[in-house]
């Protein structure tokens, strides 16, 4: 049986680092999900292959529940020699605005990608994992979902929802040998944070720096490994010392 890991939003940023690290550390064949940036997704694939691993691209927008279900059920049907052991729900977007100015669409878009997307993708692989009696589901939440951040009512709501869902699902499927955990990063250097005032924000972090995508990926890799078999329903902070 070929062991696989599905990482959503794996074309760039944290998702790419997670995909490359899971392939290297755990020897998983990686399903690289992305929304539209095929060139970047191919770069992730190249990096995995350069380290001796294997991967394939899997394009869908996580908020499109019908497409997610169709793509994943077809893949599972056509790959009977494979099992998805690890799912990392990483795809996420921000559309920051103070609530008084926030458009309904800014709220809906962020919740649909970051929260509903997690539901869509997880639901589409859950039966497969239950049948295999093994699984690691890792949700990439955020400090924003624990502490709340001004200008991010939409994003904090989505990530807070993800954290609560993590705890619920963990209890539902613990007896099936499937763990469900969330990782809550603080500020990490990526396209998502490139327009922020880094110099000002670094001062708020006790370690006085942003995190690296690889540092988050190493945590995800540990949670996805057999070493973390008894950890479930946890929200693990990785934020250089900013605690909620």
Q: Which parts of this chain interact with ligand NAP (CB under 6 A)? A: 8-9, 11-15, 33-37, 40, 61-63, 90-93, 113-114, 140, 142, 185, 187-188, 190-193
Alpha helices, H only, the chain:
13-26, 38-50, 65-78, 104-111, 117-132, 143-147, 153-173, 198-202, 213-224
Record the tokens describing residue 185, joined without a space.
């990063």
Question: How would you classify the pairing of strands 2-7 and 82-89?
Answer: parallel
Cα dist from 89 to 7, 121, 148, 201, whole Å: 6, 8, 20, 26
Q: Which is nearer to ligand NAP, 38 or 133 (CB)?
A: 38
Catalytic position from the list 119, 155, 187, 210: 155
Q: Which is nearer to ligand NAP, 11 or 232 (CB)?
A: 11
Record the tokens describing residue 162, joined without a space.
């993800």
Exposure string for 165-204, b = 16+ CB within 10 A, e = fewer = bbeebbeebeeeebbbbbbbbbbbbbeeeeeeeeeeeeee
Report the alpha-carbon distance of residue 197 to residue 199 in Å, rounded.
6
230 in active site = no
In sequence order, what are the beta bridge partners of 178? 135
Q: Which is nearer to ligand NAP, 4 or 35 (CB)?
A: 35
Residue 221 near residue 25, CB atoms below 8 Å: yes
Q: Which is nearer to ligand NAP, 130 or 189 (CB)?
A: 189
In sequence order, what are the beta bridge partners of 154? none
Q: Which is nearer to ligand NAP, 140 or 178 (CB)?
A: 140
Q: Which residues are catalytic?
A: 155
């Amino acid at each position: 049986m070929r062991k696989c890991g599905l990482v959503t939003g794996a074309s760039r940023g944290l998702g790419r680092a997670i995909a490359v690290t899971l392939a290297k550390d755990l020897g998983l064949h990686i399903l690289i999900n992305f929304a539209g940036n095929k060139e970047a997704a191919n770069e992730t694939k190249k990096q995995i292959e350069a380290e001796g691993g294997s991967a394939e691209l899997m394009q869908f927008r996580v908020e499109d529940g019908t497409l997610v279900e169709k793509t994943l059920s077809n893949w599972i049907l056509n790959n009977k020699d494979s099992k998805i052991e690890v799912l990392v729900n990483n795809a996420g977007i921000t559309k920051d605005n103070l609530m008084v100015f926030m458009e309904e669409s800014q709220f809906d878009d962020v919740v649909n990608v970051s929260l509903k997307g997690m539901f869509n993708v997880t639901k589409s692989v859950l039966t497969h994992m239950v049948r295999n009696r093994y699984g690691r589901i890792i949700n990439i939440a955020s400090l924003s979902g624990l502490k709340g951040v001004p200008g991010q009512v939409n994003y904090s709501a989505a990530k807070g929802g993800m954290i609560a869902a993590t705890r619920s699902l963990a209890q539902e499927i613990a007896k099936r040998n499937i763990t469900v955990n969330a990782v809550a990063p603080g500020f990490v250097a990526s396209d998502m944070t490139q327009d922020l005032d880094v110099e000002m924000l670094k001062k708020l972090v006790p370690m006085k720096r942003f995190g690296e995508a690889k540092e988050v990926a190493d945590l995800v890799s540990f949670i996805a490994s057999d070493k973390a078999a008894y950890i479930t329903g946890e929200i693990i902070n990785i934020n250089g010392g900013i605690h909620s």
